[in-house]
Amino acid sequence: MNQSERRHYLINTLLDENVSYRGMDIPGDEDGQKRLLRSLMNVRIAKPISDEFIKLQDEYLKEELGKKHVTTLDEMEELQPGIYVWQGDITTLKVGAIVNAANSGMTGCYQPCHACIDNCIHTYAGIQLRLKCDDIMKKQGHEEPTGQAKITPAYNLLCDYVLHTVGPIIYDKVRKEDEELLASCYENCMRLADENGVESIAFCCISTGVFRFPNDRAAQIAVDTVKNCMKKYKGINHVVFNVFKDDDLNIYLKLLS
């Protein structure tokens, strides 16, 4: 199968799963088809699917990833020993693990084509990631507490693992408890990474954006916690602070220059 044939197979399979979707028109253009496929993957609840679907999905996602530029540590400037700042799409980083800013349900973002990191990671990892997270949460029996972390395989991403952590949500002003919980997110991700033999890890900006933690204070907590953890967890040699916005890039460059 070529990429177009795989995409049509995946779309049709997902449409056929839901009686309300059957008979839906598939867009004629490639971008429209890609958006529909991503939307169907985003809204799909965690439930079994055929091995054939997984095989073709994996082939499809790997070919799509092959069209993007892959970034390695060798392409980054080391600002402090073992510490880097990089602006771009975290799903294109080739590191040991990337960190996902998850919600307490831990099974991804269900809003079609949402631009959040949770949505992007689950989209390009493939539906196996949601299935794995759902299995972990069912065994746990309750929502994920703020400040904790879980580790999963990365499936179709370039990294080996994804670390999922739930940051604090700021409703009014930042409390000391919020700062401690945010630090705990970084601490627990570093601990899990070290326990699983991960030598390089890329952190997103946990709790900023829609979670409303002030960007400058969040970055300071991130840098301070990671530096302390690198002294404790000797197996982690490289930490990347991954940013998306120019404001965050400038904040981290100022802190680490």
pLDDT in tens, 216-256: 999 999 999 999 999 999 999 999 999 999 999 999 999 99
- Averaged over 148-165, what is the pLDDT? 98
32: number of Cβ within 10 Å: 12
For residue 40, pLDDT beyond 90: yes
The answer to whether 172 touches 130, Cβ cutoff 8 Å, is: no
Tokens 């960190």 correspond to what residue? 99
- Averaged over 79-85, what is the pLDDT? 97
For residue 23, pLDDT beyond 90: no
Task: Enter the tokens of residue 20.
Answer: 């309300």
Q: Where are the beta strands (DSSP E) in the chain?
A: 78-80, 83-87, 97-101, 149-153, 161-165, 200-203, 238-243
User: Count of alpha carbons within 13 Å of 136, Cβ hemisphere only?
Assistant: 20
Cα-to-chain-centroid distance, residue 26 = 28
Q: For position 78, what pLDDT does the model report? A: 96
Residues in Cβ contact with 1 at an 8 Å cutoff, skipping those fewer than 6 apart:
9, 56, 59
pLDDT-based confidence at residue 22 (cuts at 50, 70, 90): confident
Secondary structure (3-state) at 161? strand
pLDDT-based confidence at residue 34 (cuts at 50, 70, 90): very high
Q: Are strands 161-165 and 149-153 parallel, antiparallel or unpaired?
A: antiparallel
The answer to whether 97 touches 204, Cβ cutoff 8 Å, is: no
Q: What is the pLDDT of residues 103-146, one digit of tens each?
A: 999 999 999 999 999 999 999 999 999 999 999 999 999 999 99
Q: For position 82, what pLDDT does the model report? A: 97
pLDDT-based confidence at residue 180 (cuts at 50, 70, 90): very high
For residue 209, pLDDT beyond 90: no
For the chain, the average pLDDT equals: 96
Instruction: Find residue 162's DSSP bridge partners.
Output: 98, 152
44, 155, 166, 176 from 173: Cα distances, Å: 36, 38, 19, 10
Distance CA 136, CA 148 (A): 14
pLDDT-based confidence at residue 69 (cuts at 50, 70, 90): very high
Residues in Cβ contact with 95 at an 8 Å cutoff, skipping those fewer than 6 apart:
73, 158, 159, 200, 201, 202, 238, 240
- Averaged over 60-89, what is the pLDDT? 96
For residue 210, pLDDT beyond 90: no
The answer to whether 199 touches 94, Cβ cutoff 8 Å, is: no
Q: For position 50, what pLDDT does the model report? A: 97
Q: How far apart are the first and last CA of the chain?
A: 49
For residue 100, pLDDT beyond 90: yes
pLDDT-based confidence at residue 31 (cuts at 50, 70, 90): very high
pLDDT-based confidence at residue 194 (cuts at 50, 70, 90): very high
